[in-house]
Amino acid sequence: MEQLTVATTPIEGQKPGTSGLRKKTRVFMQPHYLENFVQAIWTAIGGVQGKTLVLGGDGRYFNDRAAQVILRMAAAGGAARVIVGQGAILSTPAASNLIRQRQTDGGIIMSASHNPGGIDADFGVKFNTPNGGPAPEDVTNRIYEATTKLTAYEILESQDIDLSTLGETRLGDMVVEVVDPVVDYAALMEQLFDFDAIARLIAGGFTLRFDAMHAVTGPYAKAILEDRLGAAPGSVMNATPQPDFGGGHPDPNPIWAKPLVDLVMGPDAPDFAAASDGDGDRNMILGRGVYVTPSDSLAVLAANAHLAPGYADGLKGVARSMPTSRAVDRVAVARGLDCYETPTGWKFFGNLLDAGRATLCGEESAGTGSDHVREKDGLWAVLLWLNILAVTGRSVAETMQTHWAEFGRNYYTRHDYEALDKQLAEGLMNGLRVRLPDLPGQVFAGRRVAQADEFAYDDPVDGSHSAGQGLRVVFEGGARVVFRLSGTGTEGATLRVYLEDFVDDPARLDMAPETALADVVAAADQIAGIRTTTGRDGPDVTT
């Protein structure tokens, strides 16, 4: 086998966003594109000589080809071993688990998460550090810097490696170890949760549905929910991963998982339903007649996690991303827990988890997780919910009523304006940024602004500073609007508007969120001039 040094030049725009580098698949398929980025990762981590890495992805189009390239480049860089999920498949949390469990030097996850897959859709590559978590900003900055200076990359010339058979093979001097993607992850779940209690609940007639959305969690959910916990065959829907996710967006929210939401709102509703995303790190929780907003789900899990064996000793603290509703803060206050507010993106939770300051973390974008891995974890959230329901004997609806009665309710919704012209979206944000100091005291749609600022984060563990993390406007009485541009989109710009209001009047806990938040929505539009600037009548996606 020959080792090649291929001359290349820097490719513009290889800057990792909220979660790795995401681009159109065809962009990734351009000559040198993937290779350049992988070489930049190697540079940023001081090379891969003698190192052990984990590799896997969500199975989307180009996953298999990219895996072969990454393996050849790891071998060329002198890596000792790469642990690969069979078929180059690993869910993001399973990859995080393997990186930690096998004490590796990190790993590469091939995914564009909830973005659609296919040759005309999206692809992505992300590096995770030895703690199992997404590379923090200093590493992603180094990766980006390396992409701007590349002159060559190293790759081994070889035939494709067979990734369909479990066991060890060699690529040059490097060992390629193909592992079952599900086994270790399922074993971890069994340690954290009372599988017997959940199995008894299900045996007693409790029904559930899990929508894998033709994405990576199908095999995981079937193995755990159906095979181990006894859910009826077929409880896991859309269970076979497909390179284009069946043509849909593998995004577990009421828009893209509408059939599941319709099911729980209809006459044949199961007791519990859930969905996960392309790479298995997100979750949506539903019960008969109810959709649980992700921010509420985080709060419920924080309030009840001690009911599961893995968390029986209580929580060290909780953390949420800034735009996530402050429902979990109320639980933290009531239970005497530290509560951290971080920028958007799981990479910001890593230090808090490593330092033992937080046990549970969550984001409004349907991400919840704990210190069991260093990624958010969709199936984990589903199992924690099931464990809690098994212990309390309550339905999902009763769980929410009980929670709101105790802690009050943070009504919450997010409005996304997608594929906006980039300059226009940046102009809107810049215009608003300069007006922030003038907002306090002004009244919009009957709401008086108490405070307005741009969020920045000082990491309490390593002291790193992250600026420009979203514009927030807080109103008297506790309502809040946050404006942010997405860092995962691959087309133009996506404006996210996060809307929240707190209510603890027992008579007002049962409103429709769009009613409860109507004037906050109106205030947000007046403040930012969204309709006039974008020319849009309303958001493309409401979650």
Question: Which sequence positions are flagged as catalytic?
Answer: 113
Q: What residues pair up with 282 in beta bridges, in sequence order?
A: 367
| Contacts for 319 with CB less than 8 Å, ≥ 6 apart | 339, 340, 341, 342, 349, 352, 357, 358, 360, 361, 362
- 501 interface partner picked from Co ion, ligand VG1, none, CB below 5 to 8 A per type: none
344 binds, among Co ion, ligand VG1, none (CB under 5 to 8 A by kind): ligand VG1
Select 34 or 215, whichever has its Cβ closest to Co ion: 215
Residue 375 binds which one of Co ion, ligand VG1, none, with CB within 5 to 8 A depending on kind?
none
Report in angstroms how near the CB of residue 282 gets to Co ion at its nearest: 5
Whole-angstrom distance, CA of residue 327 vs CA of residue 535: 33
Tokens of 219: 């095999």
Q: How far apart are CA 337 and CA 6, in angstroms?
A: 53
> Among residue numbers 260 through 299, which ones bind Co ion (CB under 5 A)?
277, 279, 281-282
If contact means CB under 5 to 8 A according to the sort of partner, which of Co ion, ligand VG1, none does residue 14 touch? none
Closest separation between CB of residue 62 and Co ion, Å?
17
Q: Which amino acid is it at 345?
A: G
The residue (of 279 and 500) whose beta carbon lies closer to Co ion is 279
d(C-alpha 39, C-alpha 160), whole Å: 19
What's the distance, CA 470 to chain centroid?
A: 18
- Cβ proximity to ligand VG1: between 270 and 367 the closer is 367
- Cα(305)–Cα(293) distance, integer angstroms: 17
* Beta-sheet pairing, 283-287 with 272-276: antiparallel
| Distance linking the first and last C-alpha atoms of the chain | 51
Binding-site size for Co ion (CB under 5 A) equals: 5
Residue 151 corresponds to which tokens in the numbers above?
């002159």
Least distance in angstroms from the C-beta of 53 to ligand VG1:
19
Name the residue with the smallest CB distance to ligand VG1. Answer: 113
Q: Which does 363 bind (CB under 5 to 8 A by kind): ligand VG1, Co ion, none?
A: ligand VG1
Nearer to ligand VG1, 88 or 485 (CB): 485
What is the smallest separation between the CB atom of 115 and Co ion, expressed in angstroms?
9
> How many Å apart are CA 158 and CA 160, to the nearest integer?
7
Minimum distance from residue 320 beta carbon to Co ion (Å): 17
Supply the minimum distance, in Å, between the C-beta of residue 62 and ligand VG1.
17
Work out what residue 346 binds among Co ion, ligand VG1, none; the CB cut-off runs from 5 to 8 Å by kind. ligand VG1
Nearer to ligand VG1, 156 or 353 (CB): 353
User: Does residue 294 contact residue 366 with C-beta atoms inside 8 Å?
Assistant: yes
Q: Which is nearer to Co ion, 277 or 525 (CB)?
A: 277
The 3-state DSSP class for residue 359 equals coil
Strand partners, 108: 55, 127
Which residues lie across from 273 on neighbouring strands? Answer: 209, 286
Burial class of residue 430, CB neighbours in 10 A (0-12, 13-18, 19+): exposed
Contact positions with Co ion (CB under 5 A) in 89-148:
113
Binding region for ligand VG1 (CB under 6 A): 18-19, 113-114, 277, 281-282, 321, 344-346, 363, 365, 367, 486-488, 496
377 binds Co ion (CB under 5 A): no
Residues near Co ion (CB under 5 A) are 113, 277, 279, 281-282
